[in-house]
């Protein structure tokens, strides 16, 4: 074993850069397979982003069937089919339960630690690193990755130290929320090995709008439950629709339905080179005619009352008043005196209020980075580079992105597991 004068090991079977979910899983898997592993993390804590996922409760995976999981990873989810045949969401659940972390399922299949403590998940992974004697260096930044004519050679730290490796796993994440340590350091190392970095863009990100009602903060702070939000193409056809909650903010819109629509807005804006129209349906479970008839029936029951009182509780009040105004109906007008034409217009707005968005918050503020190391250049069952011997990638640095809800973390843990197992196997071949 190569050591320096103070007895420190200078060469490892596998070096993992990045202590997020993908790097932690990779280091554990490589350790489990008997490799001598070094895990290097820039920050003073392991799994920082993992710990803040799922509203700070750590959304470790999702319990939906594999086909559904893939559908919820619109950024190259299909690339993961082979990986899932080796290690999948059910394996993640078993992995944590074996480590003593009881999980529970919540809405939309989201899996959390039963304790609601993200520390339980992170600490269980850290204990596994210990069990496999993985050497962990925290507060240590990798500055560069060195390759030679045979493949991976060594890594160079910011403080000038360097370590040799038979196999190297780059697990440094994307560029979103850089305060968690993910600052996009890995892209240059991938390019140096000949890899293509597909265009980076924000996904799972709030949307901005120049609409007057946004600028005037008319609906700021209003949240709507279980609405249907669509991104429209220039012909008015829905590119994507999501039925979830949403929120109006001072700059535009946010909330789960918006985050899911955001990547489709980014792509549509590229094509249109301008604003994109969104459609909001607050009555997704009935059609426009049924809705109109319901309004007429409600008015008939008490036609002398002001329309705003007749429709009290029909939709949340701020949005009701907003739509009445848009339909040119005075909120204090007696229900019975309002023309059917205006009521039809109101029903139509309830089913499809159209407004434009003109962008997203920055990549740094996005939950997830779109784009990354092209998956065409990665062996899908190994997570190894097609260009450089001994080089592996896992997690968000890859051009894979899913919706929030445990899909990105599933992708990180699954690709991490494969990278770790295969990096350990590769390191055996060159001993």
Ligand X SMILES: Cc1cc2nc3c(=O)[nH]c(=O)nc-3n(C[C@H](O)[C@H](O)[C@H](O)COP(=O)(O)OP(=O)(O)OC[C@H]3O[C@@H](n4cnc5c(N)ncnc54)[C@H](O)[C@@H]3O)c2cc1C
Residues in touch with ligand X (CB under 6 A): 17-23, 40-43, 48-50, 52-54, 59, 141-142, 171-173, 176-177, 180-183, 185, 367-368, 395-396, 404-409, 412
Q: Could you tell me how far CA 395 lies from the centroid of its own chain?
A: 11
Task: Measure the CA–CA gap between 369 and 371, rounded to whole angstroms.
Answer: 6
In the complex, minimum distance from the CB of residue 173 to ligand X, in angstroms, rounded to a whole number: 2
Q: Given the complex with ligand X, which of 211 and 364 has the nearer CB atom?
A: 364
Task: Measure the CA–CA gap between 143 and 162, rounded to whole angstroms.
Answer: 10
Q: Given the complex with ligand X, which of 249 and 404 has the nearer CB atom?
A: 404
Please give the helix or strand (H or E) that residue 325 lies within, else none: helix 317-326
In the complex, minimum distance from the CB of residue 49 to ligand X, in angstroms, rounded to a whole number: 4
Q: Any bridge partners for residue 137, and if so which?
A: 40
In the complex, minimum distance from the CB of residue 71 to ligand X, in angstroms, rounded to a whole number: 14
Residue 214 phi/psi, 5-degree rounding, is -75, -50
Q: Is 56 left (phi over 0), alpha (psi -120 to 50) or beta?
A: left
In the complex, minimum distance from the CB of residue 348 to ligand X, in angstroms, rounded to a whole number: 35
In the complex, minimum distance from the CB of residue 177 to ligand X, in angstroms, rounded to a whole number: 4
Pair 231, 239: CB distance under 8 Å: yes
Q: Given the complex with ligand X, which of 18 and 151 has the nearer CB atom?
A: 18
Which DSSP state fits 103? E
Please give the helix or strand (H or E) that residue 165 lies within, else none: strand 162-170
Q: Given the complex with ligand X, which of 20 and 371 has the nearer CB atom?
A: 20
Q: Given the complex with ligand X, which of 351 and 401 has the nearer CB atom?
A: 401
Q: Given the complex with ligand X, which of 54 and 255 has the nearer CB atom?
A: 54
By CB atoms closer than 10 A (0-12, 13-18, 19+), residue 293 is: middle
Beta strand pairing status for 11-17 and 162-170? parallel
In the complex, minimum distance from the CB of residue 46 to ligand X, in angstroms, rounded to a whole number: 7
Q: Given the complex with ligand X, which of 173 and 390 has the nearer CB atom?
A: 173
Q: Please count the CA atoms within 13 angstroms of the CA of 430 that sit on its side-chain side.
A: 17
Nearest to 426, CA basis, from 84, 28, 33 = 33
Contacts of 313 (CB under 8 A, 6+ apart): none
Task: Measure the CA–CA gap between 412 and 395, rounded to whole angstroms.
Answer: 4
Q: Given the complex with ligand X, which of 92 and 324 has the nearer CB atom?
A: 92
Task: Measure the CA–CA gap between 362 and 377, rounded to whole angstroms.
Answer: 28
In the complex, minimum distance from the CB of residue 311 to ligand X, in angstroms, rounded to a whole number: 36
Q: Which two tokens stand for residue 421?
A: 């197992």
Q: Given the complex with ligand X, which of 335 and 406 has the nearer CB atom?
A: 406
Q: Any bridge partners for residue 354, and if so which?
A: 279
In the complex, minimum distance from the CB of residue 59 to ligand X, in angstroms, rounded to a whole number: 4
In the complex, minimum distance from the CB of residue 414 to ligand X, in angstroms, rounded to a whole number: 11
């Amino acid at each position: 074993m190569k050591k320096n004068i103070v007895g420190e090991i200078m060469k490892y079977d596998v070096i993992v850069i990045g202590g997020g979910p993908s790097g932690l899983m990779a280091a554990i898997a490589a350790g489990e397979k008997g490799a001598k592993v070094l895990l290097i993390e820039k920050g003073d804590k392991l799994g920082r982003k993992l710990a803040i996922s799922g509203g700070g409760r750590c959304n470790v995976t999702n319990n939906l069937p594999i086909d559904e999981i893939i559908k919820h990873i619109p950024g190259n989810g299909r690339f993961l089919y082979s990986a899932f045949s080796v290690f999948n969401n059910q394996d993640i659940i078993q992995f944590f339960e074996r480590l003593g972390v009881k999980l529970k399922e919540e809405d939309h299949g989201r899996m959390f630690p039963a304790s609601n403590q993200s520390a339980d998940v992170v600490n269980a992974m850290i204990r596994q690193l210990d069990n496999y004697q993985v050497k962990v260096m925290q507060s240590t930044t990798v500055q560069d990755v060195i390759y030679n004519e045979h493949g991976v050679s060594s890594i160079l730290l910011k403080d000038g130290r360097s370590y040799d490796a038979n196999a190297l796993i780059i697990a440094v994440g994307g560029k979103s929320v850089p305060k968690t340590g993910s600052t996009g350091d890995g892209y240059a190392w991938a390019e140096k090995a000949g890899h293509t970095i597909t265009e980076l863009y924000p996904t799972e990100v709030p949307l901005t709008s120049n609409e007057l009602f946004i600028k005037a903060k008319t609906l700021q702070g209003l949240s709507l439950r279980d609405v249907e939000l669509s991104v429209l193409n220039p012909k008015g056809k829905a590119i994507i629709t999501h039925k979830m909650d949403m929120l109006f903010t001072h700059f535009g819109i946010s909330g789960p339905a918006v985050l899911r629509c955001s990547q489709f807005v980014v792509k549509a804006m590229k094509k249109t080179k301008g604003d994109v129209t969104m459609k909001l349906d607050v009555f997704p479970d009935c059609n426009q005619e049924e809705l109109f008839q319901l309004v007429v029936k409600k008015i008939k029951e008490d036609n002398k009352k002001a329309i705003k009182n007749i429709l009290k509780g029909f939709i949340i009040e701020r949005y009701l008043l907003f739509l009445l105004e848009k339909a040119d109906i005075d909120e204090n007008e007696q229900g019975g005196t309002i023309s059917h034409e205006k009521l039809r217009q109101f029903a139509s707005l309830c089913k499809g209020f159209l407004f434009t968005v003109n962008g997203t918050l920055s990549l740094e503020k996005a939950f997830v980075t779109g784009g990354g190391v092209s998956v065409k250049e990665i062996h899908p069952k190994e997570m190894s580079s097609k260009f450089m011997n001994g080089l592996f990638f896992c997690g968000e640095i890859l051009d894979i992105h899913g919706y929030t809800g445990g899909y990105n973390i599933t992708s990180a843990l699954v690709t991490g597991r494969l990278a770790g197992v295969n990096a350990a196997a590769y390191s055996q071949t060159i001993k």
